[in-house]
Amino acid sequence: MNQRFVIVGTDTGVGKTVISAALVSALDAFYWKPVQAGLEGETDSQAVARLSGAPAHRILPEACRLRRAASPHLAARAEGVEIDAAALEPPACEGPLVIETAGGVMTPLNDHALTIDALKRWRLPIVLVAPMRLGAINHSLLTIEALQRRDLSLIGVVFVGDEDADVERSIATFGDVRRLGRLPWLDPLNAQTLRAAFDAGVDRAAFGANA
């Protein structure tokens, strides 16, 4: 059975796409963004293609593409549609699969289902991405508690940003979770710098990758 992971974040804009791209590169994985809300500029699938260097066939089509950059349930409503959350099923593929959720785990998909409800149905191992910024401890612990309450399998946390060992330790200890590593802020950020920093900073063994 190929490995499949779900990348969740403490919030929107925390680095889920960047970590997904690094994992796609490191594991030669496929990538799937179930719901893309916001089509202006680069989509997450396009960013992952650019930052992983993966060939086009490894970027699987989104189940749902919505124009407005908003919570998926509101972006869908703006187009007069509703996301069929029960129909969101990870696609079959010939290799590992990295799934990137939209927003945070409590982000609604429609008026009845949250992102975490889909995670519960999928029962796949989860990786939490947490940014090194003020508020990260609180947001991380709230997310971890929500996952633990539902008996979801959290592999660990990947931090993004400047080193702060005290913050990382606080999250790992209070949350009783594994620290998988940290990706520093990169300038420039491209496929080469990302992969090198990911290999140096993140424990690939946690993902079953051949180092």
Ligand X SMILES: Nc1ncnc2c1ncn2[C@@H]1O[C@H](COP(=O)(O)OP(=O)(O)OP(=O)(O)O)[C@@H](O)[C@H]1O
- Catalytic site residues? 33
Partner in contact with 9, chosen from ligand X, Mg ion, none, beta carbon below 5 to 8 Å by kind: ligand X
Nearest to 106, CA basis, from 97, 98, 118: 118
Shortest Å, Cβ 103 to ligand X: 5
By CB under 6 A, is residue 62 in contact with ligand X?
A: no
Which strand ranges, in their side-by-side order, compose the sheet holding 126-131? 30-32, 97-104, 4-9, 126-131, 154-160, 179-183
Told to check if 186 binds ligand X by CB under 6 A, we report: yes
Q: How far is the CB of 31 from ligand X (least distance, A)?
A: 12
Q: Does 115 bind Mg ion (CB under 5 A)?
A: no
36 binds, among Mg ion, ligand X, none (CB under 5 to 8 A by kind): none
In 3D space, the residue among 144, 136, 94, 137 whose CA is nearest the CA of residue 119 turns out to be 144
Strands 35-37 and 64-66, sheet pairing: parallel
The C-alpha angle with vertex 36 and arms to 34 and 40, in degrees rounded to 5, equals 160
For residue 92, the SS3 value is: coil
Q: Which helix (H) or strand (E) holds 118?
A: helix 115-122
**CA-closest candidate to residue 129, choices 3, 19, 25:** 19
- Applying CB under 6 A, among 13, 41, 55, 80 the residue interacting with ligand X is 13
The binder of Mg ion chosen from 15, 36, 44, 181 (CB under 5 A): 44
Question: Token pair 């919030």 is at which residue?
Answer: 11
Residue 18 binding partner per list Mg ion, ligand X, none, with a CB distance cut-off of 5 to 8 Å that depends on partner kind: ligand X
Task: Between 102 and 172, name the residue whose CB sits nearer to ligand X.
Answer: 102
Lookup: tokens for 23 = 């994992």
Return the range that interacts with ligand X (CB under 6 A); candidates 11-19, 22-30, 75-83, 133-141. 11-19
Among 17, 25, 43, 71, binds Mg ion (CB under 5 A): 17
Closer residue to ligand X, CB minimum distance, 18 or 80: 18
Find the part of the chain contacting ligand X (CB under 6 A) among 15-23, 24-32, 58-66, 140-148: 15-23
Residue nearest to Mg ion (CB): 17
If we measure between CA atoms, which residue out of 17, 23, 33 comes closest to residue 3?
A: 23
d(CA 179, CA 164): 13
Residues that bind ligand X (CB under 6 A): 9, 12-18, 44, 103, 160, 183, 185-186, 189
